[in-house]
Chain A
């Protein structure tokens, strides 16, 4: 598959700000990839996401240099309605992106806005509910749902637009760990079934490193690291940039520094395997 996202030399400064929120940013994402974006608070992640889905520059103006292309569109030139069908953005708080008082009405929201014929809306809403496993919630009111369910409803409302890229902004921050794991599994399944590309901003790296193809680290508006997740986690500079390295990865790095011939990897299970093997060798 070709490129879905191309960010070239992007810099953006909000009107009243002294500093650029995003500086000389370069990023290419291929179709079907799951890319993670990490960085400390204030590093510019949220700003970057909004330059990809078009909120910058269409809703937020400022000093905009460089270019962003998504699919066949140049973001600064296309209309939001065109961009909405190519890239979807799932915001951090699911509550504030559900407008309607029934789940299926809300999922239909984007399609209604694009004047899609009612029969087609029906079919696509049903499909989205099936993909997200929430068909039984169709008539429910949003305030009756759990956080995890709201998250799925919001995601359904995005996926129903049939975008090629879906951006998730800290999707697990309000979820408990088990629900977060379920969401992550869902994302992987969606990518495998539909081929949709995912760009996910997340602090809790251990949740996503298993499904991510790439991990990009951002600091003070710039991209500082970009590579396979296990390589980045093994990179000494990663922690210095303010991202939280999962405990087992940190231990793995420590042991490597102490001389143990370990490979890159994640998770307690793999490390335990390797260590057992190492110990037996002696």
Chain B
């Protein structure tokens, strides 16, 4: 669905933000891109909808070179939810805000109405239909930006740091939405440095550091590699650390991480 072929990207300032990045994402896959601030995560995903075009190499979306299309064209298939809702809300009403993209993409009036109603319902924003988007709370604004994107039903959904500034309840809701995306076959990419949020989703993990992809594999494997995570300045999820520590003592009764996991989560009091 998405392919990066030896992509290098250099900013106008001369800074190289991506180096020799190669990546293939299949349809309906769920991917989490982790790494410290400045590692190139956001730069990477901005290439998927054409906001940035590679300096070297090629980015293909559904087989087409992104260089040949505008961001607006690519966005029809690739929706990116950026971090800051205040960077996009502008309409007089939540309804107008939600239909903005639909109108830009030339949806028919019936389809617009249908998608609008679905989006407002699903995100619990129907009661605010006629309110100003600017008057909503932080969490509601975040939901609104997601609603705006899912309204046009892109095949690929990219979330850029979705958990920043969100409290526990809001994160729960987000988790639920992401699981829904996965179950409806969307290709989902989450850029985040919040490993505790990502861990339960068990995605494919792409670790970035200084513009390169330093690791690409299942989360449950990579998250156990302390050296890798240290080098990329990524935290290890607490539970993974726990399982590893359980195994660490020479006289530990656990022979493998699985043992530890079973002992903890299985019936307690065995023995």
| Binary per-residue interface labels of chain B (32-70) against chain A in the complex, 1 for a CB within 8 Å, 0 otherwise | 000011100000000000000000000000000000000
Decide if A276 touches B253 in the complex (CB within 8 Å): yes
Q: Does A40 contact B (CB under 8 A)?
A: yes
What residues on A are CB-neighbors of B196 within 8 Å? 206, 246-247
Bound form: Cα–Cα A243–B166 in Å:
11
Contact B169 A248 (CB under 8 A): no
Taking a contact as CB atoms under 8 Å apart, the answer to whether B245 and A174 are in contact is no
Q: Does residue B154 face the partner (Cβ distance < 8 Å to A)? A: no
Are A174 and B164 in contact (CB-based, < 8 A)?
yes
A146 CB-CB contact with B under 8 Å: yes
Are B246 and A275 touching (Cβ within 8 A)?
yes
- With most chain A CB atoms within 10 A of its CB, the pick from B36, B234, B242, B254 is B242
**Cα distance, A247 to B168, chains bound together (Å):** 12
Specify which chain A residues have a CB less than 8 angstroms from the CB of B194 in the assembled complex: 177
Number of contact residues on B: which range applies? 35 or more
Q: In the bound complex, how far is the Cα of B237 from the Cα of A248, in angstroms? A: 9
- Does A269 sit at the interface, judged by CB under 8 A? yes
Dominant SS among interface residues on chain B: loop
Q: Is the CB of B37 within 8 A of A40?
A: no
> Is A272 positioned at the interface, with any CB of B under 8 Å from its CB?
yes
Number of interface residues of A (CB under 8 A): 41
What are 27 A-B interface contacts by the 8 Å CB criterion? A41-B138, A41-B170, A42-B137, A147-B37, A148-B37, A175-B37, A176-B37, A177-B193, A179-B36, A203-B167, A239-B168, A243-B167, A243-B168, A244-B171, A247-B196, A247-B239, A251-B239, A259-B269, A260-B268, A268-B241, A268-B242, A271-B245, A276-B252, A279-B252, A279-B271, A282-B270, A282-B271
Given contacts A177-B194, A272-B245, A273-B245, 9 further A-B contacts (CB under 8 A): A147-B37, A175-B37, A176-B36, A177-B234, A179-B37, A239-B168, A248-B238, A272-B248, A279-B271
The 6 A-B residue pairs with the shortest CB-CB distance, nearest first, are A272-B245, A244-B168, A282-B271, A268-B241, A268-B242, A177-B235
Question: What residues make up the interface of B, taking CB atoms closer than 8 Å to A?
Answer: 36-38, 137-139, 164-171, 193-196, 199, 233-235, 237-239, 241-242, 245-246, 248-249, 251-254, 260, 263-264, 268-271
